[in-house]
Amino acid sequence: MAEQEETLVTPEMTASKGIWGNEQVSPPIALSDIRKWAIAVYWPQTPPRLFWDEQYARTTRFGGIIAPQDFNPFAWPIKPENPPEFAKPRREGGKGRRGMNGGQVDTYFTPMRPGDVIRARTRLRDWFERQTRFGLTLFVFTETEWWNQDNKLVKRHVQTFIRY
């Protein structure tokens, strides 16, 4: 009988690879949420007028107020979402239990505006393993997409988790 190769990839990961999870839907984005977010992000400076001055924003190529790119309509959930199995920390044994954030890449498309309702979905996109100074190390990539009510892509977020 051949010896099984060591891996940190779980059966749950293999089963869920590429499958989009349940969709989250934001409440409609309020103009006051955009303004408060911009104030918080740019504090103590004054945020760009595009994020709070309706009269000015109408004169721009956007034709009205838009949200800063990093605005998150899911920032204050009423009920916390349960992470998918592949994203939960492993409780057993030593290998694969430790981990760290490996970074993220956000790509922005259609800007968010007051009144938009954003849908988000996440999937386990891919992974690879290799030997590092920590031993066998697993690099896991999750992908989240945000879409607005007009079915226009707003944002793609790719997160890297590192487990060893």
Superfamily of domain 17-71+96-163, CATH level 4: Hotdog Thioesterase (3.10.129.10)
What mean pLDDT is predicted for residues 130-141?
94
Checking if the pLDDT of 4 tops 80, the result is no
Task: Return the structure tokens found at 118.
Answer: 């954003």
Q: How far apart are CA 126 and CA 102, in angstroms?
A: 14
The residue-averaged pLDDT of 18-32 equals 95
| Backbone angles phi and psi of 94, in degrees to 5 | -95, -45
Kindly indicate the confidence band of residue 84, based on its pLDDT and cuts at 50, 70 and 90.
Answer: low
Q: Are 27 and 117 in contact (CB under 8 A)?
A: yes
The Cα 118–Cα 33 span in angstroms is: 14
Average of pLDDT values for 81-91? 60
pLDDT of residue 99: 85
pTM for the full model?
Answer: 0.84
What is the rounded distance in angstroms from the CA atom of residue 161 to the CA atom of residue 102?
A: 5
Q: What is the distance between the alpha carbons of residues 114 and 60, in angstroms, rounded to a whole number? A: 16
The angle formed by the CA atoms of residues 22, 109 and 80, to the nearest 5 degrees, is 30
What is the band of 3 on the pLDDT scale with cuts at 50, 70, 90?
low
Give the pLDDT of residue 98.
Answer: 82
Locate 53 and state its tokens: 């001055």
Q: For residue 1, is pLDDT > 60?
A: no
Whether the Cβ atoms of residue 50 and residue 62 lie closer than 8 Å to each other: yes
Residue 140 host element (H or E): strand 135-147
The reported pLDDT for the residue numbered 50 is 98
- Cα-only R_g, the chain: 20
- Rounded Cα distance between 37 and 47, Å, is 10
